[in-house]
Chains A and B, each alone.
Chain A
Amino acid sequence: MGDLNNLTIAEARDRMRAGDVSAVELTEACLSEIDKADALGAFVHKTPEIARDRAAAADARIKAGDAPSMCGIPIGIKDLFCTKGVPSQAGSAILNGFLPEYESTVSQQLADAGAVMLGKLNMDEFAMGSSNETSTYGNAVNPWRRGNDDTALTPGGSSGGSASAVAADLCLGATGTDTGGSIRQPAAFTGIVGLKPTYGRCSRWGVVAFASSLDQAGPMAKTVRDAAIMMQAMAGHDPKDSTSADLAVPDFEAALTGDIRGKKIGIPKEYRMDGMPEEIEALWADGTAMMRDAGAEIVDISLPHTKYALPAYYVVAPAEASSNLARYDGVRYGHRAKLAAGDGIDQMYEKTRAEGFGPEVQRRVMIGTYVLSAGFYDAYYNRARRVRALIKKDFEDVFATGIDAILTPATPSAAFGLGEMADADPVQMYLNDVFTVTVNLAGLPGISVPAGMDKQGLPLGLQLIGRPWEEADLLNSAYALERAAGFVSKPGKWW
């Protein structure tokens, strides 16, 4: 049988339906790989019993002949999703010991579709970070290395464990979440596909909240087709999330014709940043040529407020986070600090949060508190929300001219070394999101597709941005790009 864990979701589905492979065999292959891959720091809570139970149930369902595409597919779940009876800590010490009494809608929908949960995946604390270095579990590590150099590289963040696990074939797909680029940047750093759907396409219920107006769940997978299949199971209206859209979910896989003739692909001039590495420039130019060769019309476009997206994001997201994270008070769940004699409730809050939150989370909660405080609310928060409206309008104006999708680099560099940014100031780290954050601010769908390698042998990704609710069309454009780019490299196994 050998190496069943290397299959794509589509291949595994077809082979299970043909009776050639069972979900139990597939699951055992992944569980065994996971146990050998602790050096990657990807799986932080393993759930082999749940996996084996679900795999057996999936085999029965496949045998009965009415199984959906995700039935029997072994996946990992980002630690941000609450999973019933399984630790769900959002990568934070403040949720040590938290065992949810409920299941997030997205992970429930995947379970209902027959997917097999292998465990929970590492991530930056509360999804705040671009390198998975803020996690209470320690770093997740990129399976890719620079040639023969054994420097440990970041898988990106915040969905770093998801990216590492999928790239290393520990699972066939994984859930991620994306607030400013947390699906697309790690996907680009690890040579996989990551889709952030339109805001409202997936329910946020049961997903630990970071910035509620920006957070979206999405699939991270080995191919565009796999992302489409997984997206199908994750998407849909949920009465428990009032911002989830009551719209029909199209058949995403059926949209993958690869035919993009006549599609208008926009190339935004503002994404040509000063100091952008030549390799990223070249990759972008190559991707543009591939889309043109596939029959798309390439159009130069302008998104004039692009440069203000990052500062607007770093007002809006911390503001929402400071409010969302107020719930971690040591009363209802998670960590409570040991109190000294005479300590009152304020000391309990302050000590609990100082012990439970890591430095980056504390920093963002305090920035958020500041920009929302009396006297600064208008100058920072309201101004940022106005700029956000202008950023969204930039996209609306471009789409109104008939642009179908926008092609940009996914990240300003390839994966960097763990610890390499330790001495950089926080703003340097924030620049990782420069190409992705606009998409969250505008609520649009965006997908990162592996499209090439740098000189050191590391994968690089391109991003396609679509019209709201048109993930199907976006996936098809991504499929055409994927086929043209022909990225098939895998990291050499060292773990």
Chain B
Amino acid sequence: MSIDIDTARRVAHLARIAVDESDLPALAGELSHILTFMEQLNEVDVDGVEPMTSVTPMRLKRRADVVTDGDMQDKILSNAPDAREGFFAVPKVVE
């Protein structure tokens, strides 16, 4: 599977990473090369094999659906690049 420049542009956008137009051909080449390496997997007969979901067979624990923590707005906002009036601030989202 070879990745063309349009696909590279689309993947970069899906990943929310800005890539200059001039860097797209190199990126497409690198991604193609890695995907070619992965294509060895097509040699394996996986008929009837379930995709692994959990590496150790375990039933995830359950707990009562109650609040166990909270009331720490200051701590949660303490690392925000821009926090105002108790909220995370971002550029305008809705016109």
A239-B60 Cα distance, complex, nearest whole Å:
11
The smallest beta-carbon distance between A74 and chain B, in angstroms, is 28
B residues near A308, Cβ cutoff 8 Å: 40-41, 43-44
- Is the C-beta of A442 less than 8 angstroms from some C-beta in chain B? yes
Q: Considering only CB atoms, which chain A residue lies closest to B49 in the complex?
A: A386
A190 to chain B, nearest CB (A): 28
Among the listed B11, B27, B50, which residue makes an inter-chain contact with A369, where contact means beta carbons less than 8 Å apart?
B11
Asked whether B90 lies within 8 Å of A348 as measured between CB atoms, the reply is yes
A387 to B8, CA, bound (A): 26
Beta-carbon nearest neighbor of B77 in chain A: A332
The one of B17, B37, B82 in contact with A365, judged by C-beta atoms closer than 8 angstroms, is B17
SS of B interface (majority): loop
Instruction: Please determine whether A427 and B33 come into contact, CB atoms closer than 8 angstroms.
Output: yes
Question: A336-377: contact bitstring with B at CB < 8 Å (1 yes, 0 no)?
Answer: 100100011111111101100100001101111111010000
Q: Which single residue of chain B is at the shortest CB-CB distance from A373?
A: B14
Q: Check A426–B30 contact: CB distance below 8 A.
A: yes
Q: A144 contacts the other chain (Cβ, under 8 Å)?
A: no
Question: Across the interface, do A366 and B17 meet the contact criterion of CB distance under 8 Å?
Answer: yes
In the complex, what residue of chain B is closest to A200 when comparing beta carbons? B56
Q: Chain A: which residue is nearest B27 at the CB level? A: A366
Are the C-beta atoms of B35 and A386 separated by less than 8 Å?
no
Among A367, A383, A389, which residue has its beta carbon within 8 angstroms of that of B42? Answer: A383
Q: Classify chain B: how many residues form its interface, as a range.
A: 35 or more
Q: Is the CB of B31 within 8 A of A383?
A: no
Q: Which residue of B lies closest to A316 (CB)?
A: B52
Bound complex: CA of A133 vs CA of B53, how far in Å?
32
A51 to B70 alpha-carbon distance, docked (Å): 30
Interface positions of A from 412 to 427, Cβ below 8 Å from B = 425-427
Within the assembled complex, what's the spacing in Å between the Cα atoms of A415 and B54? 34
Is A52 interfacial (CB 8 A cutoff)? no
**A-facing residues in B2-45 (Cβ within 8 Å):** 3, 7-8, 11-19, 27, 30-31, 33-35, 37-44
**Interface 1/0 per residue, A195-229 and B, CB below 8 Å:** 00011100000000000011000000000000000
| Residue B67 at the chain A interface, CB threshold 8 Å | no
A interface majority secondary structure: helix
A98 proximity list for chain B (CB < 8 A): 79
B66 within 8 A of A: no
The answer to whether A99 and B90 have CB atoms under 8 Å apart is no
A253 at the interface (CB under 8 A from B): no
Closest Cβ–Cβ distance, residue A376 to chain B (whole Å): 8
Q: B16 touches which one: A213, A246, A349, A363 (CB < 8 A)?
A: A349
**Is A314 at the interface (CB under 8 A from chain B)?**
yes
* Contact residues in B for A345 (Cβ distance below 8 Å): 90-93
A292 at the interface (CB under 8 A from B): no
Closest CB of chain B to A358's CB: distance in Å?
A: 11
B64 within 8 A of A: no
Tell me if A198 and B56 are in contact (CB < 8 A): yes
Distance in angstroms from A310 CB to nearest chain B CB is 8
How many angstroms between the C-alpha atoms of A329 and B16 in the bound complex? 9
Report whether B61 and A427 are in contact in the complex, using a CB–CB cutoff of 8 Å: no
For A387, give its contact among B41, B76, B90 (CB under 8 Å). Answer: B41
How long is the Cα–Cα vector from A312 to B70 in the complex, in angstroms? 40
Q: Shortest distance in angstroms between B1's beta carbon and chain A's nearest beta carbon?
A: 8
Q: A314-B37, A425-B30 are in contact. List 10 more A-B contacts (CB 8 A).
A: A243-B56, A308-B44, A329-B16, A331-B90, A333-B80, A353-B17, A354-B17, A354-B19, A367-B31, A427-B37
- A–B pairs, 18, beta carbons within 8 Å: A98-B79, A199-B55, A242-B60, A315-B41, A333-B81, A347-B18, A347-B91, A349-B16, A353-B16, A369-B11, A380-B41, A385-B53, A386-B49, A387-B46, A389-B52, A392-B55, A425-B30, A468-B56
Closest 3 CB pairs of A and B: A385-B51, A443-B55, A336-B81
Interfacial residues, chain B to chain A (CB-CB below 8 A) = 3, 7-8, 11-19, 27, 30-31, 33-35, 37-44, 46, 49-56, 58, 60-61, 63, 72, 75-76, 78-82, 88, 90-93
